[in-house]
Amino acid sequence: MTVTVRFAPSPTGKLHVGNIRAALWNWLFARSRGGKFILRIDDTDRERSTKEFEDGLRRDLTWLGLNWDDTFHQSARFADYDKVADLFRREGLLYPCYETADELERKRRLQRARGLPPVYDRAALRYTDEQVKAFEAEGRKPHWRFKLSQSPVKWNDLIRGETIVDTVHVSDPVLIREDGMYLYTLPSCIDDIDVGITHVIRGEDHVTNAAVQIEIMEALIRTRSSGALPAFAHHSLLIGADGQGLSKRLGSLSIEAMREDGLEPSSITSLLARLGTAEPVVPERSLSALAASFDLDKVGRAPARFDPAELEALNAKILHETPYEEVADRLEKLGVSKALWEAVKGNITRLKDVAQWREIIEGAIEPVIEDKALTEAGVALVPADPLSEKSWSDFTSALSAKTGAKGKKLFMPLRLALTGRANGPEMAHVFPLIGAEKARARLRGERA
């Protein structure tokens, strides 16, 4: 059996961290087992689905490195869904319902008032021919529900363990709307069976849905005498650092926003791969390395906290460990050399921050002169070009011997004069990049 998983976004909005965590876990699971990762575009909602959103989600997945082995659109498979719907009607598994949305809501309110769960009462199964004719005379169109077994559905969830959902407490799901459009459930079940999905890995908000889908899939397998039921794994959902739920409508949590903000894709995958597992979150630039250690047995049941501050810190660590060769093409566009990158990468949180240090080192700055006597004394002691990392220790030793300044009283005035900043990269690395002539001018207090 080839492990086959799917990520099935709807092109009705932007991908956010919750979506991507599910996509990433599916991808890691498949890659760790030499399996296939399928991208299914759930675009049955023709009114809300757009090409722009689809292009965006593909761009996000590609940027993160989550390549897919196959892809297809549900909108191209309506003929296949029609065949199954007709089959289910003949088998008595799909039945027409004529209640309006208002009528159904009134029923639910009455049930709640009586302390009963708002489960559909199957009134449509008791319609007389006269009632049906009356509904149709009014111009009503039926929506179609799947007839559940109203019995316990059991499965061994790969994260939650043995799981039981009694469908007597679940409304028969609407699979086809009054306008003939398919809702999510039926196309998803048909696709999973037809494509040969072996594992469905998704959020725990789908646990009850799983029971419904298992019944639909089993009916599909039975009536067509083909296919196999996938295994299910339902992971906990992400919550915010404050313990509250995350809203996918928060623009700052979209992958597009994070990319535009300058975050590294590997910082996002490093964090989301380990959130909710027993594994520590560590900076990992390689998706293959993340896949090698990924195991559903290490996944916990507690909600996983997503903290943007943790992502920020992880992004900085990723950059601090990144060799020039991995980002050379991006740095060349910023006019940043290998020497400059290696000198300053330990002091940035975004790659774009390196451009600020390029301006400080290679451009002209207004020096901050804190101790004029000290800096003026240093002018004559700056070694001749070309400077090396050893030049800094030679220079500061000579200046200390001449002025008696030591420690912070020696190094802080020099850093302020040479960079205009109180903090930054090791001066031993920066000094050679500034160069002797520029260093002397800055020590004199000149803009250089």
Considering the domain boundaries, does residue 384 fall inside one? Answer: yes
**Tally of domains within the chain:** 2
- Model confidence over 239-287: pLDDT tens digits? 888 887 776 545 668 999 999 999 999 999 999 999 999 999 999 999 9
Statement to judge: residues 439 and 390 lie in one domain? yes
265-274 and 17-32 helices, crossing angle to 10°? 80
Residue 189: CA atoms inside 13 Å, Cβ hemisphere, count? Answer: 24
Statement to judge: residues 328 and 355 lie in one domain? yes
pLDDT value of position 252: 66
Considering the domain boundaries, does residue 437 fall inside one? Answer: yes
Q: DSSP letters of 50-113? A: -HHHHHHHHHHHHHHT---SEEEEGGG-HHHHHHHHHHHHHTT-EEEE---HHHHHHHHHHHHH
Among 275, 415, 443, 269, smallest CA distance to 347 is for 415
Average pLDDT, the chain: 94
pLDDT value of position 185: 96
pLDDT value of position 247: 64
**How would you class 64 by CB atoms within 10 Å of its CB: exposed for 0-12, middle for 13-18, buried for 19 or more?**
buried
The helix (run of H) or strand (run of E) holding residue 153 is strand 152-157
CB 434 within 8 A of CB 340: no
Statement to judge: residues 376 and 435 lie in one domain? yes
Statement to judge: residues 384 and 429 lie in one domain? yes
Statement to judge: residues 344 and 405 lie in one domain? no
Give the C-alpha separation, 177 to 143, whole Å.
5
Considering the domain boundaries, does residue 331 fall inside one? Answer: yes
Record the pTM: 0.90
Q: Which of 314, 339, 362 is the last residue of a domain?
A: 362
CATH of the domain at 432: 1.10.10.350
Statement to judge: residues 354 and 376 lie in one domain? no
Residues contacting residue 159 through CB under 8 Å, at least 6 positions apart: 233, 234, 235, 296, 299, 301
Considering the domain boundaries, does residue 256 fall inside one? Answer: no
Give the C-alpha separation, 292 to 17, whole Å.
22
Which of helix, strand or coil describes residue 40?
Answer: strand
Give the C-alpha separation, 21 to 294, whole Å.
13
Q: Which of 362, 385, 416 is the last residue of a domain?
A: 362
- Model confidence over 53-69: pLDDT tens digits? 999 999 999 999 999 99
Considering the domain boundaries, does residue 415 fall inside one? Answer: yes
- What is the arithmetic mean of pLDDT over 424-430? 95
Percent of the chain's residues with pLDDT above 70: 99
pLDDT value of position 338: 95
Statement to judge: residues 377 and 358 lie in one domain? no
Statement to judge: residues 432 and 413 lie in one domain? yes
Statement to judge: residues 376 and 422 lie in one domain? yes
pLDDT value of position 249: 46
Which residues, in sequence order, are bridge partners of residue 304? 238
What residue numbers bound the domain in which 352 lies? Answer: 324-362
Residues contacting residue 176 through CB under 8 Å, at least 6 positions apart: 85, 94, 143, 144, 182, 183, 186
pLDDT value of position 45: 87
- Model confidence over 19-56: pLDDT tens digits? 999 999 999 999 999 999 999 999 998 888 999 999 99
* Residue that has been written with the tokens 């390029």 in this structure: 358
pLDDT value of position 251: 60
Considering the domain boundaries, does residue 417 fall inside one? Answer: yes
Considering the domain boundaries, does residue 432 fall inside one? Answer: yes
Q: Which of 334, 362, 390 is the last residue of a domain?
A: 362
pLDDT value of position 187: 97
Considering the domain boundaries, does residue 28 fall inside one? Answer: no
The single-letter code of the amino acid at 221 is I
- Model confidence over 64-114: pLDDT tens digits? 999 999 999 999 999 999 999 999 999 999 999 999 999 999 999 999 999
Residue 214 phi/psi, 5-degree rounding, is -65, -45
